[in-house]
């Protein structure tokens, strides 16, 4: 090779060097790009590494297992509880007497409603409210009871949530 080649800067007139100088400049740019850029290879590489082609590749959706917390507490999965808690905050923020708010999780097919019960009360200076929430998924139905309190910034937060037990 004939030594370093200065590639034209963007402010200079178009490069007027020889074809071989132009090629060396392009190769240098490509080499720089490959050295600082990442690369990857996708596709089946099993034959390169001695993998057995007789194995079948299986893909698909795997059903989520209930979380340990849901299994031990008797509560629905967290993905559904997030929406139920949002409905609690919504209905308590509206503050309408005898109001309910419904919720639905289109990903799991679960749905339900939240209804405040009794009157608001004060705990450690915070306004709190008890509520009942229904949970329906497929042919099963469950009820939960809980307590929500208004946080310092005025938002309602669910403090307790447990399966409802008739008293």
Contact (CB, 8 A) for 113 and 130: no
| φ, ψ for residue 154, nearest 5 deg | 90, -5
pLDDT value for 154: 86
**What percentage of the chain's residues is helix, strand, coil (to nearest 5)?**
25, 30, 45
Neighbours of 146 (CB within 10 A): 20
Say if residues 131 and 88 touch (Cβ distance below 8 Å): yes
**Residues contacting residue 87 through CB under 8 Å, at least 6 positions apart:** 101, 102, 103, 112, 113, 114, 133
Are 116 and 92 in contact by the 8 Å Cβ rule? The answer is yes
pLDDT higher at 100 or 48: 100
- How far apart, in whole angstroms, are the C-alpha atoms of residue 111 and residue 104? 4
Write the DSSP symbol of residue 42.
-
Q: Each residue of 130-146: pLDDT tens digit?
A: 999 999 999 999 999 99
Q: 76, 137 in Cβ contact below 8 A?
A: yes
For the beta carbon of residue 22, count every other beta carbon within 10 angstroms: 15
Residue 89 pLDDT greater than 60, yes or no: yes
**Which DSSP string corresponds to 75-128?**
PPPHHHHHHHHHHHHHHHHH--TT--EEEEETTTTEEEEEEEEEEEEEETTEEE
pLDDT of residue 57: 53
Is residue 38's pLDDT more than 70?
no
Percent of all residues in the chain with a pLDDT value above 90, rounded to a whole number = 44
Please state the pTM of the whole predicted model.
0.56
Give me the pLDDT at residue 136, please.
Answer: 96
Helix, coil or strand: residue 50: coil
What value does the mean pLDDT take over residues 63-81?
A: 66
């Amino acid at each position: 090779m004939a030594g370093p080649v200065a590639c034209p800067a963007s402010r200079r007139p178009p490069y007027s060097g020889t074809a071989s100088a132009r090629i060396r400049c392009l190769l240098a740019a490509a080499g720089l790009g490959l050295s600082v850029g990442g690369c990857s290879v996708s596709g089946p590489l099993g034959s390169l590494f001695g993998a057995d082609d007789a194995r079948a590749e299986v893909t698909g959706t795997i059903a989520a297992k209930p979380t340990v917390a849901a299994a031990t507490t008797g509560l629905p999965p967290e993905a559904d509880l997030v929406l139920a808690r949002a409905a609690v905050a919504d209905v308590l923020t509206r503050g309408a007497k005898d109001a309910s708010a419904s919720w639905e999780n289109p990903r799991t097919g679960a749905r339900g409603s939240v209804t405040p019960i009794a009157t608001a009360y004060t705990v450690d200076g915070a306004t709190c409210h008890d509520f009942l929430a229904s949970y329906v998924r497929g042919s099963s139905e469950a009820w939960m009871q809980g307590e929500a309190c208004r946080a310092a910034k005025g938002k309602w937060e669910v403090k307790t949530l447990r399966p409802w037990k008739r008293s």
